[in-house]
Chains A and B, each alone.
Chain A
Amino acid sequence: AAGVIQSPRHLIKEKRETATLKCYPIPRHDTVYWYQQGPGQDPQFLISFYEKMQSDKGSIPDRFSAQQFSDYHSELNMSSLELGDSALYFCASSPREAGGYTFGSGTRLTVV
């Protein structure tokens, strides 16, 4: 069965650079969520989209932005990267029925 696809799997960037993470949800899943997991931390909710509109917002820095496109894939754009942005970034998708989440394998971002 198709899963949530995240790309790239690993990314190394320098401070003050920009990064774009991509997420391809499971077909017919209309909601996408982004999470950030710092070292030794639990995943923290950043932002979600339902039917291409932002539906909820968590502790997402102003330097980050995200959107969901017409094909339901989503991109998380991160600018002016800081060392503290180094983390594992997860994308999850869910269908119309509540509670059916599927997580991607994550993108490990390292800022040097």
Chain B
Amino acid sequence: AQKVTQAQTEISVVEKEDVTLDCVYETRDTTYYLFWYKQPPSGELVFLIRRNSFDEQNEISGRYSWNFQKSTSSFNFTITASQVVDSAVYFCALSEARSSASKIIFGSGTRLSIRP
């Protein structure tokens, strides 16, 4: 069975602080995809990143970075120099890569609040 755990329900930091959102996943598949989505108050799901299970290279995109470690089944997300606009709910998600019709399983989300 697949499962995504985001243990941090809510995080609140002051602007310009760095913040890391944790994500731990479970799957029996050897091939899978991991995702991060941002959901601002407006409600839409904003795609941030997709990572293939065979690619353990860390990725940096501006102030965002992701650390994928298969050994610990973790896919953590760090925001550097946080800004108020980063306030949102962030979801980590997992899907199998076996077929083209594999659904995405979401974690419970982490609500991030950035205080001015």
Contact = CB atoms under 8 A, between A and B. Distances in A.
A26 B37 CA distance: 19
Contacts, number: 64
A20 to B, nearest CB: 20
Task: Give the contact-size bracket for chain A.
Answer: 20 to 34
A103 interface: yes
B13 interface: no
B104 A101 contact: yes
A45 B95 contact: no
Given A42-B108, A98-B33, A55 B101 contact: yes
A27 interface: no
7 contacts: A31-B100, A45-B103, A97-B100, A98-B97, A101-B35, A102-B47, A106-B43
The 3 closest A-B pairs by CB, nearest first: A50-B101, A99-B33, A55-B101
Interface of A: 30-31, 33, 41-45, 48, 50, 55-56, 58, 88, 90, 92, 94-103, 105-106, 108
Interface of B: 33, 35, 37, 43-45, 47, 50, 52, 91, 95-109
Given A99-B50, A99-B95, A108-B43, 10 more contacts: A30-B100, A43-B91, A48-B101, A55-B101, A96-B100, A98-B96, A100-B50, A102-B47, A103-B37, A106-B45
